Amino acid sequence: MLEQVSTGTIIFILIVMIIISAYFSASETGMMTLNRYRLRHLAKQGNRGALRVEKLLQRPARLISLVLVGNNLVNILASSLATILGMRLYGDIGVAIATGLLTFLILVFSEVMPKTIAALYPEKTAFLSSFLLIPLQKIMMPMLCFLSGTTHLLMRLFGIKESIHHIDQLSKEELRSIVNESHSQISRRHQNMLISVLDLEKVSVNDIMVPRSEIVGIDVNSDWKSIMRQLTHSPHGRILLYRQSLDDAIGMLRVREAYRLMTEKKEFNKENLLRAADEIYFIPEGTPLNIQLIKFQRNKEKVGIIVDEYGDIQGLVTVEDILEEIVGDFTTSMSPNLAEEVNLQSDGSVLIDGSASVRDLNKAFNWSLPIGSRTINGLLLEELGEIPPVNTELCIGSYQIAVMEVQENRIRQVRIKALS
């Protein structure tokens, strides 16, 4: 029958087969390299092309079977036509010529080029190819079901389990990489905020707390004038009330509530002050920030006292402290910011207050100092095992550190220089 077909017609059919093969190759690459999350977003917006592709990808095994069946059928037919054409033009040696030439044409025009284009423009490729793939899938459904069933049977015989549901999931590290690579879509500030949210579980309340030594409180056993002076000059919205020492804390006073009582009551005394104090909200040390933020919201609290396993007070943390980990320092914060604690030197070193946060320094300068201790002072004390004299020098990792000032059993200032 083919002997009656002209050579020109065979060449034309062969070219059509190569184009169809290119279509199936591009369709496979476009469908498989498509951004599933963007596809889902477009589908929710009602994009018809996205809806068609999403429907096809609900059964990826069936889609791959359709593409492979179509591609193989076309390639086999093209091979047969090329063999006939080669024999007609050059005899027996024409078979070898046709095989080599067809292999080259299929590799270039039906595989490499269409797949490269599809990888560069997966959305356009997938949306356009879905027009034909959906009706083709319906036409070839019996064959596809047979192939799918045979495949599943063989996989069971070899002990290979197939998951019933295909769910796209991203780990936190993968999500962090996506955010870091989204420079053109998300501003740097918003990127930092998203990364900070992902890192909340890696940071505990101990890392951001106001340490015990810096907690502002009022000793209710002091004379009334001293109490009123501390109350009226306090820069904080809440003040811890205690007897003699912080370990005997008795309540958390809202300064605004104290002012209200001053204006409403003719006689404002210690009894009224203690009655206005709220019950202290205690937080176990080591609580991750993501958990504590939820607990603050659930318990409708804004400030908590951090205690260790023995019930001793270690520090204080507020909702604002956690939010600053996400959005950066607030202008209303009374704590010194990092810019006030560091001083860049001309030789590349940095003068740093001993109270500066190790985590903040690592973020600001892209360092990798150990974060076992909260502050530079704590880091050096842990490393040296004693309070060092001035001019003590040591190396921690790739950082050269010199102690510049020591006061009141604390390291007040150090000089740090990155060696590499």
| pLDDT for 166 | 46
For strands 313-318 and 210-211, give the pairing.
antiparallel
Residues of the chain with pLDDT under 50: 164-166, 331-332, 334
Q: DSSP string spanning 296-350? A: HHHHT-SEEEEE-TTS-EEEEEEHHHHHHHHH---TT--SPPHHHHEEE-TTS-E
The residues, ordered by sequence, that sit 6+ positions from 286 with a Cβ below 8 Å of its Cβ are 204, 205, 206
336-416: CATH topology: 3.30.465
| pLDDT for 96 | 86
Q: DSSP string spanning 12-48? A: HHHHHHHHHHHHHHHHHHHHHHS-HHHHHHHHHTT-H
Q: Give, in degrees to the nearest 5, the angle at Cα 42 between 40 and 43.
A: 60
φ and ψ at 259, to 5 degrees? -65, -40
| pLDDT for 234 | 81
| pLDDT for 352 | 92
| pLDDT for 164 | 45
CB-facing half-sphere around the CA of 11: CA atoms within 13 A: 7
Q: Which of 230, 271, 273 is nearest to 254 (CA)?
A: 273
CATH of domain 203-325: 3.10.580.10
Query: Do 276 and 257 touch, CB atoms closer than 8 A?
Result: yes
Domain locations along the chain: 5-156, 203-325, 336-416
Query: Residue for token digits 């797949």?
Result: 115
| pLDDT for 284 | 95
| pLDDT for 334 | 46
Q: Is the pTM of this model over 0.85?
A: no
| pLDDT for 178 | 78
